[in-house]
Structure 1
Amino acid sequence: MLGTSTLAAEVTHISKHGFWLLLADEELLVPFDQFPWFRKGTIEQILKVEWPTPDHLYWPELNIDLSVQSIRNPSEFPLVSGVAG
């Protein structure tokens, strides 16, 4: 029986505007204005990213799940919050 294959994701740079995420040979910008959930995360929390499937990213310490497609094409994924204003 083969073991579970995991993909490696790496945060390569963090600035006040967002962070760069390396997925295999593709580097994507995750801007805080489009992904505000990361804005209050610590560097350590943002660095701990998991890539369990080709289109799924997970930050366990922030409890954030994202589709890779939502980073590539954020206009196709409007922000919706379940938190009452």
Structure 2
Amino acid sequence: MTSFNIGTTTLATTEILNVSQYGVWIAIKGHEYFLSYQDFPWFKDGTIAQILHVELLHDEHLYWPDLDIDLTIDSLRRPEHYPLLYHESSRKMSSEFSPIAETKI
């Protein structure tokens, strides 16, 4: 009698390995990367569930839908080619440019 395995075993191509006070460890297609909060500040205020919800799109594009973060694998391999600039104030719209004007009645 011959035994057959039903189904196939697949390995996840993208997996969050660890979330620490310093950053996030991620495994992608057999390689591990460390995303420090200093270099990738967008993850610092994310919840564990938000950080764990990552998708690999088009074999080179990482997307965290709950955090609205997009990164390419190449930016993790060669960060010197992708300077990351982040300014909290640039994410907030100034009140003088608010699209909704306040009117007095």
TM-score under structure 2 normalisation? 0.68
Superposed counterparts of 1:41-80, under 5 Å = 41-80=46-85
Offset from partner CA, 1:27-56 (integer Å, 9 cap, x none):
111111101111110111000000012220
Q: Which one has more relative contact order, counting CA pairs under 8 Å at least 6 apart?
A: 1
Cα offset, 1:79, TM superposition: 1.5
Q: How many residues align?
A: 79
Larger radius of gyration: 2
User: Unaligned regions of 5+ residues in structure 2, if any?
Assistant: 1-11, 93-105
User: Unaligned regions of 5+ residues in structure 1, if any?
Assistant: 1-6
Runs of 4+ with deviation above 6 angstroms: none
Aligned equivalents of 1:13 and 1:37: distance in 2? 16
Q: Which has the higher strand share?
A: 1
Cα offset, 1:24, TM superposition: 1.8
TM-score under structure 1 normalisation? 0.82
